[in-house]
Amino acid sequence: MYQSLNLTLNLSKNQIGTQGIQGICSSLQSCPNLSNLAIDIQNNQIDEQGISNLSSTLLLYHNLISLSLDISSNNIAEASILFLISALSRYTHLLIFHLRYFKSKLTRASKTKLYKSILKFKRLVKRSFCL
């Protein structure tokens, strides 16, 4: 029998920085069998190192079928977002993906590149992104 394990974290507007996201990632590693994960970390102080840590942690979830991320209004550069999307594209079971990345410094060309990268996800049946 398949058991679905869900986790929703709403940590928006908490002044979380690199050290805080490292702690969150450490805690997430204790839940390796998640199938549905929603993380709202908008309006914090997360930078490239923080999103890199999160990307590496998300790669540990081999059973993840649904992922929702809100990383709006942080200090995340384009290269880090593309690294995150590249890491997520390796998921073989991911069916649902939602990404919110408002108030970013992405150019129109970068948004197009990000959009095309997400469209390459192999098995997605539902996707949404707000850039």
Q: pLDDT tens digits for 96-122?
A: 999 998 876 677 887 788 888 888 887
How many domains is the chain built from?
1
Query: CB-based contacts of 6: which residues, under 8 Å, 6+ apart?
Result: 34, 35, 36, 37
- pLDDT tens-digit series, residues 15-27: 999 899 999 999 9
Q: Looking at the predicted structure, is the pLDDT value of residue 78 above 50?
A: yes
CA distance 1 to 129: 32
103 lies in a domain? yes
Domain of residue 66: give its range.
Answer: 13-123
Does the model's pTM come out above 0.85?
Answer: yes
CATH number at residue 72: 3.80.10.10
pLDDT at residue 13 in the model: 95
3 lies in a domain? no
129 lies in a domain? no
Nearest to 79 by CA among 43, 117, 24: 117
Greatest C-alpha distance within the chain: 46
102 lies in a domain? yes
**Residue 86: count of CB within 10 angstroms of its CB:** 12
